[in-house]
Amino acid sequence: MNLNIYDFLMGVIISIVLLFFVLFYHIKLYKNHSFLKIWVAGTGMVILGFVLSLFASVPSFRPYAIMSSNLLLILGQGVYYISLKSFFEDKLKFSNYRSALFSFLLIYISVFSDNTTLRMFSTSIVLLMFSAFVLRLLYSHRTSEIHRSISFLIITYWINISFWIFRVLFTIMVLPSKPELYEFIVLLTDLSALLPSVLGSFGIILLTNQKLSSMLEKEKIKFSNIIDISPDLVVVTKLYDGKIFHANKKFIDKLGYRFEDIQNKSTLELNIWNDNSARNLFLNALVECETLENYEAYLYTKEREPFLGSISSSKIVIEDEQYVISIIRDVSDLRETEKKLIESEQKYKVIALSSASWEAWFNENGKLIWTNEMIKHIIGYSPNEATKLEDIFKDIVISDNLASLAKEYKYALSSRISGKNEFLINHKIFGERWILISWKKIYDSNNVFSGYRTSTIDITDQKKAELKASELANKLKIEKEIAEKNSLIDSMTGLANRRYLEQRIMYEYARMKRNWSNLSIIMIDVDFFKLYNDAYGHVQGDICLKTIAATLRSTVKRQTDLVARYGGEEFVVLLPETDKYSANILADNIKTNIENLEIEHMTSTISDYVTVSIGIATFTKDCNVSCEDLIQKADFALYEAKKIGRNSISHA
């Protein structure tokens, strides 16, 4: 009979070993879930406790085997409780110290007592307590999302509790009169201790998968909601076959389909693209660039009505499969409007050029041979005066523009092309004026080049407007740069402000997680600064803060570090890739350098000079602190520094 029970227990252990492999796979799959590692540790303790109990049959090892086995079985059950508590709660808190003290006393008796009955009784009670703690934890966190796995674990622990109650009663009522049943009860104890290991491990795997499935489903719903509320057309398709995974109502309504019409249909099957080559062009551009912005292509509705779509797309991965999320805007009306504007502008330019004041003819050598009367309005010369000049442009164009004009004109004659250009001239009456010259080639009846026809207009007012616009644009640019700088800089101290600090903390936190580096934050507070302001006035208080800011800037030397004013008399130093030891050295230098300023502070209760309190918090990649809580850790350390008397340094 004993052999069969031991064989059964060994079979259970083999099952647990197999579960070990499953658990290790889940640990590798869900690296951030530390509770799985804790559970595996508890299972290892229970198995080791059972193995050691087998040595109790050897007289020389019996006392040590019983002590070690009891301790490991109890610790294993306790670790199970810690594992489940860490799964349900972000931070482990144990506030019931009386229960902890009572459990420690029972564990001591279970391990070191020489009285068999007392040892079995205390072991049963402490294991019963741990099972009850787990059961209460499971009941308090039972939700619809993980109902099945929680119910499975609850049944497992009810069975476990029932056995420990039976063992307590058996130890009190039966064992004293029938000590020969001791070995049998020990085997049943091992079996009951192994029960949470086998069924519990199965339940914990089920719990993990069920919770992650619930989280994934919520993320899918969020993803769908974001797409559905978008004012643009949004569609998610598989990368290579173009099958529609999801589309919002705007997309479906625009194309004239119903949702059931597009399910599991590709964009080619629905004739959304003009043809396969159009989609291939889009797909090749996406594969090459990873993301596309404002890619324009004609798309088609169910009734084959085309519209010009501006497509912004990016590749995403959903359940290990590549998809494309595309945001589409109908820009047909926009492009039509732009076309009309261009046509209107061209018409305007033609009218403006044809109504230009100066129309003239030049022969193939560049000599003026005919001009209209409006030449006097443009350059101040009469037609007779102009035709007598060998090179009219040499006489009117400002000397700085002559080289450019000569080059343009020589090129025009040699290549015999049409064109236009702007020049600054010296008007005979009004002085400096800007003109725009347009020229066109002329051929005689034999198609031989015979010169140019020119049309010239005065654009002085336009150039002045452009100059003013340019000056205004530069002014606005400078004002924008100043505004952007002011939005990130504290105006009084010249340090980075709180807004910029928070942006940098988010960036450095992500970089720390990615590069396996350290990140330290130093928070500094001027001691009794309100008293300083009351005694010396706010103007002197501002001078004091500026002096401290300058000292911080000179003390913190690395280009990668950031000194910021957090608010009031508080400053923060952000130290990427800095461990606790280095941060402490820098904090001590800051404290010393500020004391050495010897800024008088007669109302301070700790010194005759201005001093500071400093809190330090250092973080590593493995820390569980969220990015938003980093500064709070340093603030807590600062609070501790103030609490111990100020003018001191404290670590979180």
Could you state, in order of their start, the residue ranges of all structural domains in the chain? Answer: 2-219, 230-334, 356-464, 498-651
Name the more confident of 629 and 530. Answer: 530
Positions annotated as catalytic residues are 569
Pairing of strands 519-526, 368-371: unpaired
Q: Tell me what the mean pLDDT of segment 180-194 comes to.
A: 65
DSSP secondary structure, 325-388, as one string: EEEEEE-HHHHHHHHHHHHHHHHHHHHHHHT-SEEEEE-TTS-EEEE-TTHHHHHS--HHHHHH
Chain position carrying tokens 């797309």: 313
The pLDDT score that the predictor gives to residue 97 is 61
CA angle 378, 382, 388 (to 5 degrees): 115
The pLDDT score that the predictor gives to residue 1 is 38
The pLDDT score that the predictor gives to residue 473 is 73
- Which tens digits make up the pLDDT trace of 590-613? 999 999 999 999 999 999 999 999
Report residue 349's pLDDT band, with 50, 70 and 90 as the boundaries: very low
Closest CA to 138 of 89, 187, 90: 89
Q: Tell me what the mean pLDDT of segment 638-642 comes to.
A: 94
Which two three-digit tokens encode residue 585?
A: 């050295």
Distance between CA atoms of residues 517 and 579, nearest Å: 9
CATH of 498-651, one of 3.40.50.620, 3.30.70.270, 3.40.1440.60, 3.40.50.300: 3.30.70.270
Which two three-digit tokens encode residue 546?
A: 């500026």
For residue 357, pLDDT over 50 is answered with yes
Distance between CA atoms of residues 33 and 204, nearest Å: 12
Q: Cβ(442)–Cβ(434) under 8 Å?
A: no
Name the more confident of 339 and 186. Answer: 339
Q: Tell me what the mean pLDDT of segment 480-497 comes to.
A: 76
Evaluate whether 230-334 and 356-464 have a shared fold. Answer: yes
Chain position carrying tokens 């072991």: 123
For 209-218, 391-400, 577-586, which range has the lowest pLDDT when averaged over its residues?
Answer: 209-218
Please name the CATH architecture into which domain 356-464 falls. Answer: 2-Layer Sandwich (3.30)
Name the more confident of 469 and 400. Answer: 469
The pLDDT score that the predictor gives to residue 640 is 94
Which two three-digit tokens encode residue 609?
A: 């000079």
User: Does domain 230-334 fall into CATH 3.30.450.20?
Assistant: yes
Distance between CA atoms of residues 259 and 240, nearest Å: 22
For residue 445, pLDDT over 60 is answered with no
Distance between CA atoms of residues 442 and 432, nearest Å: 30
For residue 254, pLDDT over 80 is answered with yes
For residue 70, pLDDT over 80 is answered with no
Percent of the chain scoring above 70 in pLDDT:
77
Q: Cβ(536)–Cβ(599) under 8 Å?
A: no
Q: Report pTM.
A: 0.37
Q: Tell me what the mean pLDDT of segment 423-427 comes to.
A: 83
Name the more confident of 621 and 615. Answer: 615
Which two three-digit tokens encode residue 522?
A: 């130093």
Name the more confident of 23 and 301. Answer: 301
Q: Tell me what the mean pLDDT of segment 125-147 comes to.
A: 81
- Which tens digits make up the pLDDT trace of 263-299? 778 888 888 888 888 888 888 888 877 788 888 888 9
Report residue 26's pLDDT band, with 50, 70 and 90 as the boundaries: low
Cα 465 to Cα 76, 426, 460: the distances in Å are 84, 19, 9
For residue 351, pLDDT over 80 is answered with no
What does residue 622 show for φ and ψ, rounded to 5 degrees? -85, 0
Name the more confident of 251 and 231. Answer: 251
Which two three-digit tokens encode residue 165?
A: 């109650």
